[in-house]
Amino acid sequence: MSYVHQGKIPPKRHTIFKSDEGNFYYEQLFGTEGFHGISSLLYHLERPTQIKSIGEPKDVSPKIAVEKNVTPRMFKGMNVSPEADFLDSRKVLLVNNDLKMGLAKPQNSTDYFYKNAECDELVFVHEGTGILKTFLGNLTFSKGDYLIIPRGTIYKIHFDTKENVLFFLESHSPITTPKRYRNEFGQLLEHSPFCERDLETPVLQEPINEKGDFLIKVKKENQITDFIYATHPFDVVGWDGYFYPYKFNIKNFEPITGRIHQPPPVHQTFEAYNFVVCSFVARMYDYHPESIPAPYNHSNIDSDEVLFYTEGDFMSRNHVDLMDFTLHPGGIVHGPHPGAMERSIGKKFTEEFAVMVDPFRPFKITEEAIKVEDPSYKTSWLGQ
């Protein structure tokens, strides 16, 4: 990430910093990996440590239906139930020791604050508009936006309407841009499919100087605990550093194409420990005179493969609806549906948009996923 500075900060870190009225500002290091990872320094009107009470934790552990899976599966996202509350709406469908993944259809904005105290969050906006409000500033969002929310970020989310669909994942390791697209200084390279101009950082708002009872729901170790603080968490007058939420729209991803079919790593957008996230976007097809645009059959021996279909017509699949998830377990060969390869020959362009996640440890299937599974998918490659 790039260095960002917003609002008022002192010329030297860890030094006395006061308002014009002579009141102290309170410094907070917001960082990771025991003072070694990336961080930002925040300056508060009040001490951000003033806990008034802590409630009983609520267990939100995903319930596992299939511990060890070798079956190709499709989950019908359109059948996931909406919920009024933002956190209640999160239906975890797939999980392993590195990440959780699922779909949320929240109908209401949050009237509380939320902090994931152990996982980075990626939220992809399939449908809906609104504002992600954080203690570092606001990000407006709309269809096609990836919202990257680093662990420890305190935020609220405002939706403009009740019609919202969010693909989400929670990562136990930092979510970053691909290392192979960055130089030794961290700058995205000339041949990267996106650059820093495509990444939008939060806009710091006027600090809120309020005292009272402020509810922050804190998630850690599959529990959500209600913390009541005495001061408003959005009382930041300034901050600087490398650790902050940001957004990136999938339609700003510049596809890498070639004369023959390009493998999925050219679509990579983010990475974390033991998984990658890729963006399939509208693009020109291969331009060799005898190219086959449809992907070849492959078995992904070392990783599962999940695709979330968000826009357009995905040319390698028959009967795929928007919001569908397909899961292809590592080691099991998969490829185009019958007729898809033949239909692709001679095509020049695709308008498809999809998010792909490849984990390097197998996914477990939750009970929420089984509720919306299409059981016919596993035999859908049989000849017609």
pLDDT at 285: 85
Q: What is the pLDDT of residues 71-122, one digit of tens each?
A: 999 999 999 999 999 999 999 999 999 999 999 999 999 999 999 999 999 9
Confirm if 253 and 194 have CB atoms less than 8 A apart.
yes
What does the pLDDT read at residue 316?
59
Average pLDDT over residues 11-20: 96
pLDDT tens digits, 193-213: 999 999 999 999 999 999 999
Q: Which of 176, 125, 175, 119 is nearest to 151 (CA)?
A: 119
Per-residue pLDDT at 84: 98
DSSP sequence for 165-199? EEEEEEESS--B--GGGB-TTSPBPTTSSS-GGGP
User: pLDDT class for 52, splitting at 50, 70, 90?
Assistant: very high
Q: Record the pTM.
A: 0.95
What is the pLDDT at residue 348? 82
Q: Note whether 373 and 76 are within 8 A (CB).
A: yes
Residues whose CB is less than 8 angstroms from the CB of residue 246 and which lie 6 or more positions away in sequence, other chains included: 1, 139, 147, 148, 199, 200, 201, 202
Task: Report the sign of the C-alpha dihedral through residues 93, 94, 99, 103, in that order.
Answer: negative
Start-to-end CA span in the chain (Å) = 49
Domain 28-63+81-250 CATH class label: mainly beta
The helix/strand/coil state of 367 is: helix
Query: Helix, strand, coil shares of the chain as percentages rounded to 5?
Result: 10, 40, 50
**For 70, phi and psi rounded to 5 degrees?**
-125, 10
For residue 347 the two structure tokens come to 């095509």
Assign 384 a pLDDT band (cuts: 50, 70, 90): low
Catalytic residue from among 261, 319, 328, 337? 261
3-state secondary structure of 205: coil
* Residue 315 pLDDT level (bands cut at 50, 70, 90): low
In the chain, list all ranges with CATH 2.60.120.10.
28-63+81-250, 254-379
Which CATH number among 2.60.120.10, 3.40.50.300, 1.10.357.10, 3.40.50.1010 corresponds to the domain 254-379? 2.60.120.10
Whether residue 261 lies in the annotated active site: yes
Alpha-carbon distance of 114 to 179, in angstroms, equals 30
Task: Please check the confidence at residue 322 and state whether its pLDDT lies above 70.
Answer: yes
Does 319 show up as a binding residue in the annotation?
no
Residue 337 counted as an annotated binding residue: no
pLDDT band of residue 294 (cuts 50, 70, 90) is confident
- In the DSSP assignment, the letter for residue 47 is -
240 annotated binding-site participant: no
**206: buried, middle or exposed (CB in 10 Å: 19+, 13-18, 0-12)?**
exposed
Q: pLDDT digits over 59-76, tens only?
A: 999 999 999 999 999 999
Give me the residue label for tokens 């006061």: 18
289 pLDDT more than 90: no
Rounded Cα–Cα distance for residues 296 and 302 (Å):
17
Contact (Cβ atoms closer than 8 angstroms) between residue 294 and residue 285: no
Tokens representing 47 are 């001490």
* pLDDT, tens digit, 9 for 90 and up, residues 209-251: 999 999 999 999 999 999 999 999 999 999 999 999 999 999 9
Instruction: Assess whether pLDDT exceeds 80 at residue 306.
Output: yes
The residues with which 215 forms a beta bridge, in sequence order, are 228
